Chain A
Amino acid sequence: GDSVTQMEGPVTLSEEAFLTINCTYTATGYPSLFWYVQYPGEGLQLLLKATKADDKGSNKGFEATYRKETTSFHLEKGSVQVSDSAVYFCALRRTDSSYKLIFGSGTRLLVRP
């Protein structure tokens, strides 16, 4: 079945470091891909998305490119801030009639000053 695999966390970085959180997926068809962020004590917020191959989603300095050939959607940011500390979820949305969102297990990011 469809699935999303994320790198294990936690990821600990110093402020202004470069961030990469790996995400790969398995899916039939051509799913849409998403990154969600969950700040402590809050619900999930959509960070960025891409709906077809080679699309690049970007928001708040974060970027991810839909790579069909490697079935990946890695999240990157050039310079992280303490306020980026959160749990990041990669997700795919199926294109069959269910349109289910399938999440990865989440990667906790901790940014130290």
Chain B
Amino acid sequence: DTAVSQTPKYLVTQMGNDKSIKCEQNLGHDTMYWYKQDSKKFLKIMFSYNNKELIINETVPNRFSPKSPDKAHLNLHINSLELGDSAVYFCASSQQAGPAYEQYFGPGTRLTVT
């Protein structure tokens, strides 16, 4: 059973398009995250939701909008895609937002903007 799943796994699209990446966790966790991993493997948090409430919102262009319809889902919508948005996006979840709670990562979505 997949704990944290993301769809799609690969996404190739053109500049200017709008796309969404979906994330679902079946662990019963309260907190979910989106991370961006750039071409140099550097991983940086973008957003975090706890019980459907936004708790972390890093300096990310407002073209990126997370949406959490329920605790088990956190989707990422990107408007007007740019070349620089090409990266691997990882979803993660943790039981709660506390400092010692392990984060479980999904397999990643490789976004390529042409």
Contact = CB atoms under 8 A, between A and B. Distances in A.
Interface of A: 31-32, 36, 38, 42-46, 49, 51, 87, 89, 93-95, 97-103, 105-106, 108
B41 A43 contact: no
Contacts, number: 56
Given A100-B56, A105-B42, A43 B107 contact: yes
B45 A105 contact: no
Nearest to B110: A41
Contact of A89 (B43, B92, B98): B43
Interface residues of B, number: 25
Contact of B102 (A38, A49, A97): A49
Contact of A43 (B97, B98, B101, B108): B108
16 contacts: A32-B100, A43-B90, A46-B102, A46-B104, A87-B41, A89-B43, A93-B99, A95-B99, A97-B55, A99-B101, A100-B45, A100-B48, A101-B33, A103-B44, A105-B41, A106-B42
B49 interface: no
Interface in B42-77: 42-45, 48, 55-56
Contacts of A98: 48, 55-56
A10 to B, nearest CB: 11
Interface of B: 4, 33, 40-45, 48, 55-56, 90, 92, 97-108
B100 A49 contact: yes
Contacts of A38: 41
A103 B92 CA distance: 14
A93 B104 CA distance: 14
A99 B99 contact: yes
Contacts of B90: 43-44
B103 A46 contact: yes
B19 to A, nearest CB: 20
